[in-house]
Amino acid sequence: MTTSLSAPFAAIIARALDGRAPTDADLAAVIEAPAERTAEVAALGLALKRARSGARLSLCAIVNAKSGRCTENCAFCAQSAHHRADAPAHSFRDPAEIAAAARRAGAAGATRFGIVSSGLAPDEADFALLLRAVAAVAAEGLEADASVGVLDAARIRLLRDAGLTRVHHNLEVGRSFFPQICTTHSYDEDVAAVRTALAGGARVCSGGIFGVGEGWDARIELAETLRGLGVDSVPMNFLHPIPGTPCGDRAVLSTHEAVRIVALFRLLLPDAALRVCGGRQDVFPGPAADLALAGGADGVMIGDYLTLKGTAASEDLAALRRLGLEPAVPGSDVPEGGGPGNGRSEWSAREAEK
Ligand code: SF4
């Protein structure tokens, strides 16, 4: 993808590569870019991505280890027991079944594999299965991640001993918008879960979902919270409206808006690996699919999502080649931390202004 950049966009890139924090005008230029400049916004993101992680793109996959009957009421989620969505419900899968799914994901090109279960925290029986599943995934040569709700320090230690690479816990949206999408637990509980995982020595994957009614201010708020926490891997999901959920009637975000969101996060989270995940086939359909890979992300999720079918891995690999990118290989994922802006005083000043 070769797109010429206008002087203002070239200046934004130059400032970012110099390690300087984006100005409010830089953010506004991305947020207010008109639809006819979508490709240019994506090119801005790709230029910054190439500077931080080169041509490599990280491929990850997930398994829905335990589905449905969740006590929480996240407005976008088909698995909540509070909603009337037609989502599959099953108990925690056998670790051997999870290992087989990891093996298939690895054969398709994934280097990381997330074990995901519904609910606020696993009970003792599910946690025992999770430990075995983590060890089995690690034995397949993939980096094992777990997205299983809130984990205390003791459980994080046990998971790390079993071979866990990352704890995954999304904040979902900016703090000010959170009460609009979930009322069964607080934002502070989610932030505390991220802090506990980091304090326990785990690496953390934490991001959010876009298109649930949040505005640009809430998106900036989320990015700045994640940066403040020191999160270095950020999954970005886009709403796929599911009938029976409170978000079921919402419109899918346009490609134009999704590209600007990824570029915004690229500017605000220069040290983090951005991963475009759920809903990308909705916001980057057909000919726009390449923009999901070219818009500044360091990684994408391949295969199926929790309750939805995903893109065939072969299509993603073909798109990578078209863009001159290459999949990361096991043991050599995209870098996390150390990108432009890391530890620079201007960023500290931006934090101080908040
Ligand atoms: S997003 Fe997670 S915590 Fe929220 S309802 Fe769905 S499964 Fe439960």
Q: Which domains does the chain have, with CATH numbers?
A: 7-353 (3.20.20.70)
Least confident residue range of 56-60, 94-98, 163-167, 324-328: 324-328
What are the tens digits of pLDDT across the range 311-327? 667 777 777 777 777 77
Measured by CA distance, the residue closest to atom 7 of ligand 1 is: 118
Nearest alpha-carbon partner for 165 in 97, 96, 233, 65: 233
Token pair belonging to 128: 């025992």
Cα separation values, 67 from 61, 77, 88, 219, Å: 16, 11, 6, 28
Q: Which SS3 state, helix, strand or coil, does residue 70 take?
A: strand
Question: For residue 50, is pLDDT > 80?
Answer: yes
Q: What is the mean pLDDT of residues 147-169?
A: 91
Question: For residue 348, is pLDDT > 80?
Answer: no
Confidence of residue 53 (pLDDT cuts 50, 70, 90): confident
Output 348 or 38, whichever has higher pLDDT. Answer: 38
Question: For residue 345, is pLDDT > 70?
Answer: no
Confidence of residue 289 (pLDDT cuts 50, 70, 90): low
Q: Which residue has the tokens 């969740």?
A: 70
Kindly state if the Cβ of 67 falls inside 6 Å of ligand 1.
no
Return the pLDDT at 354.
Answer: 42
Question: For residue 170, is pLDDT > 90?
Answer: yes
Distance from C-alpha of 244 to C-alpha of 230, rounded to nearest angstrom: 36
CB atoms within 10 A of CB 175: 17
Ligand 1 centroid vs 149 CA: distance in angstroms?
Answer: 8
Question: For residue 68, is pLDDT > 70?
Answer: yes
Question: For residue 274, is pLDDT > 80?
Answer: yes
Which atom of ligand 1 is least distant from the CA of 71? 8
Which of 70, 120, 189 to mutate to test ligand 1, by most ligand atoms within 8 A of the CB atom? Answer: 70
Which atom of ligand 1 is least distant from the CA of 119? 8
Cα separation values, 93 from 72, 130, 135, 166, Å: 21, 9, 14, 20
Question: For residue 64, is pLDDT > 60?
Answer: yes
Ligand 1 centroid vs 227 CA: distance in angstroms?
Answer: 23
Which atom of ligand 1 is least distant from the CA of 182? 4
**Whole-prediction pTM value?**
0.88
Amino acid present at 183: T
Side-chain-facing half-sphere of 68: CA atoms under 13 Å: 10
Question: For residue 350, is pLDDT > 80?
Answer: no
Distance from C-alpha of 113 to C-alpha of 103, rounded to nearest angstrom: 9
Kindly state if the Cβ of 212 falls inside 6 Å of ligand 1.
no
Token pair belonging to 201: 């020595």
What are the tens digits of pLDDT across the range 82-137? 988 777 778 888 999 999 988 888 888 888 899 988 888 888 999 999 999 999 99
Which atom of ligand 1 is least distant from the CA of 306? 7
Yes or no: say if 13 and 44 are a contact pair by the CB < 8 Å rule: yes
Token pair belonging to 162: 């079993």
Token pair belonging to 88: 């599959």
Kindly state if the Cβ of 59 falls inside 6 Å of ligand 1.
no
